[in-house]
Structure 1
Amino acid sequence: MSRRVVSSPFFKQSHCTGPGQFKMCGPEFHMMGEEEPKRKPSIKVIGVGGAGCNAIADSPFNNIAVCTAMEDTRAIRLESRVLVTAEHIDFMKETSFKTVRSIKYEFKEWLESAVGETDIAFIFAGLGGDTGSYIAPVVADICKKRAGLCVSNVALPFSVEGKDRRCVADCSLTKMCEASDITITYPNNHLLKMVPNLPLGKAFNVMNRIMMVPLLELEKVLTVGDLELVRRNFNRSNSCRLGVGTGSGEYGELRALEEAITSPWFDFEKDRVMSALVIISSGEVEEEAVRRVLDELAKIIPYSKIDYAGICDKELGAKYKVMLVLGFA
């Protein structure tokens, strides 16, 4: 179980501009969970292709599989399944997702019917193969029109998979970034730095769990009122990366931040970061700990706007966890 951290009256008087939870003042900070309407958003989770469907296998939400007949979805708790044929893939190879918006096409109508209306759409796909590369941008474009926030999580191929596959992935990534509000990328090369001794199959299971982290953490804090502000913040960025860290003991929150910010996926200059989202969790989140994390983070990414939240998660005990999503130009 988790809950949002509530501040003391003194802390509100010292550091807040109004009633509510602990709040860092200034135009660069936005505390999630405070905007009206405070209704919890509805969520749909969409796996595209084999890698995307594998990633959502343990998702507890309303799941949609967009896949070929060859891709097994029996282990996934599904709301619906949209079958992709070779003809659909060939058509999308030759057609821009922007063109698909304005034409009558049965496959697009199937996707629109499956997605329906939702507050947040989370898309999962692996780029480089046919289904993920050519179908996922169309799915993202549909979701962006029908949801308050569209978040895409995409895995990028290993270098050893060949130049052609990487080229397809790069081209598709450009489309995904344009079609989505937030696109978080997970290069497979960096996965091996995190779990160098695991067999490849087990390493991919680790990747699936990592890709689910933003969904599981954001579901705890976002309200419908937050969605437009988060969308506007991340419109400043092209694509994003994820970092997660844990820490304990004195200043455990800063140890967690250090581990998160040194993620192998943050392989870019920090002054390129234009947007950031940080969630600080612990069994008992101290307001000063949240402030210290935000103060330190603001020094590391001085040009970024920061969406943040503090969450009490009793399962963590005295340990702190920091999840960072950084969007860069």
Structure 2
Amino acid sequence: MERDARPHAAATDDDHLGPRWRRLPCHRTRNARRDIRLPELPMVQGILISPAPDDEPVPEAWRLGADEERARVAILGCGGAGCNTLRHIAAPPNVDRIALNDALHPAMAGPTRRLLLRPDSLRAFASMDERVVAKMESDEEKRIAAAIMDRDFVIVVGGLGGQLGGWAMSLVGRVARILGDASLAVVTLPFTAEGALRRETASAQLDLLRRKTEGVVVFANDPLLRLVPDLPLARAFAVLGSLMARVVVGLSGSLGRSDLPAVRKMIGRAKEWRFGLGAGAEKHRCFLAVDEAYRSPWFAGRPEDIRQAVVLMGLPPSGGIEEELLREVRVRSPLADIAWAVLPESVPEERAVVEILAGR
């Protein structure tokens, strides 16, 4: 939508776009650079969005996977919940799936690698400061290191509150850091009804995990009771597992090796990461998709507080709506640096799907 030229202003290439459009460099679909012009609107559904102060740095936007060489990613499912999540993950060719548990379980049947570790010493090993104790002495550390040695990026998935998964994910993060690899954790929190002791354990594990990995994406279990109240608990867990799998598959399949330094820095800038998924159809599909993603039960906090965002898009074969989707994200989170990618699976015409990882 074009605007009239600004009066009393020197002519520039952007004059015809009006004063509330900002030029951001970005890659388009065929790897050719172009400018995406994103609007800065003051209101979204009646909520005032404060514009960036004049001294704020201009937020960045760039496309992931612009180079052809994909990052080598390891996805480790830790504990029962993590191994069950691996069952929902159809790994791209650049991804290695690894199941980690204290005993063989049917959910470990699919992954190409399996690690059996004793749970009694995981917390002590994971708690060691790798800056002080950089040498891996334990058998557990050495076995994890051997499994992820040839990887560039490590993603751990699992549930917090038990005696294995939460501590094992932190130990993987410690090993990855010693090896020089970035790591991201995707975790679930226990139901409130599971009791104070389990929730206290989960809180301690989450605190350690945030120190051992670059970032943690948190899914609380309680919103499941509102999202699918009539489903049996096992089916509800399967729904959550499929959502966690979307995060992992979408990100790991989009990363190029040249993206890793910037992505590592982006993930490390945010203390808290959340996930939202949305879909829209017909004329206002982009607005509806992004709006639904921001209304996700796991997308807590104010949209304008988001400072980092990874936007993964499911587009129809004809494409052409990338700019509109990014514009809808920018309207809601004007201060966010954005990394974006187009998912390989196309959606029907007149539809759009968006997955947003948001950090604040």
TM-score by length of 2: 0.78
The equivalent residue for 2:227 is: 194
Taking a change above 3 Å as real, the CA distance of residues 17 and 190 of structure 1, as seen in their structure-2 partners, is closer
Pick the aligned partner of 1:130 from 163, 173, 186.
163
Q: 1:280 to 1:59 in 2, by over 3 A?
A: closer
User: 1:92 offset after TM fit, Å?
Assistant: 4.4
The 5 A counterparts of 1:200-215 are: 200-215=233-248
SS at match of 1:143: helix
- Count of equivalent residues: 310
C-alpha contact (below 8 Å) 1:148/1:228 kept by paired residues: no
| Structure-to-structure mapping, 1:229-240, within 5 angstroms | 229-240=262-273
Answering whether residue 238 of structure 2 is matched by residue 226 of structure 1, we say no
Describe the SS at the equivalent of 2:184.
strand
**Native 8 Å contact 1:56 1:76 kept in 2:** no
Structure 1 pair 143–89 and aligned structure 2 pair: CA distance change class (3 A): closer
Partner of 2:345: 313
**Alignment partner, residue 40 of structure 1:** 70
Q: Which of 139, 156, 165 is matched with 2:189 structurally?
A: 156
Amino acid at match of 2:116: L
Deviation digits for residues 134-191 of structure 1 (CA, Å, limit 9, x no counterpart): 2210112222444654221111101111111111111111221222223111100112
SS at match of 2:274: strand
Alignment partner, residue 8 of structure 1: none
- Find the counterpart in structure 2 of residue 5 from structure 1: none
SS of the residue 1:235 aligns to: helix
1:41 positional shift: 1.6
Which of 14-23 and 143-152 deviates more? 14-23
Contact 2:119 2:164 in 1 (8 A): no
**One-letter code of the match for 2:98?**
I
2:213 to 155, 165, 180: 180
Higher CA-based Rg = 2
- Once the 2 structures are TM-superposed, how far is the Cα of residue 284 of structure 1 from its aligned partner? 3.1
- Partners of 1:213 and 1:243 lie apart in 2 by 11
Distance 1:147 1:104, change over 3 A: closer
Structure 1 partner of 2:105: 72
Q: Determine whether 1:20 maps to 2:50.
A: no
Q: CA deviation at 1:315?
A: 4.2
CA contact (8 A) 1:45 1:123 kept: yes
**Which region of structure 1 is more displaced relative to structure 2, 164-173 or 289-298?**
289-298
Q: Aligned to 1:24, what secondary structure does the other structure show?
A: strand
Q: Give the deviation of 1:79 after TM superposition.
A: 2.4
Residue pair 1:117, 1:147 contacting (<8 A) in 2 also: no
**Partner of residue 359, structure 2:** 327
CA–CA distance in 1 between the matches of 2:135 and 2:343?
43
Distance, in Å, in 2 between the alignment partners of 1:89 and 1:314 is 42
RMSD, aligned CA? 2.5
Larger proportion of helix: 1
> Out of 322, 326, 329, which is 1:297 matched to?
329
Structure 1 unaligned runs (5+)?
1-13
TM-score normalised to the size of structure 1?
Answer: 0.85
* Structure-1 residue corresponding to 2:317: 284
Matches within 5 A, 1:109-124: 109-124=142-157
Residues 285, 309 of structure 1: CA spacing in aligned structure 2 closer, same or farther, 3 A cutoff?
farther
Q: Structure 1: how far apart are the matches of 2:187 and 2:149?
A: 22
Report the equivalent of 2:41. none
Structure 2 segments unaligned to the other structure (5+ residues): 1-22, 38-57
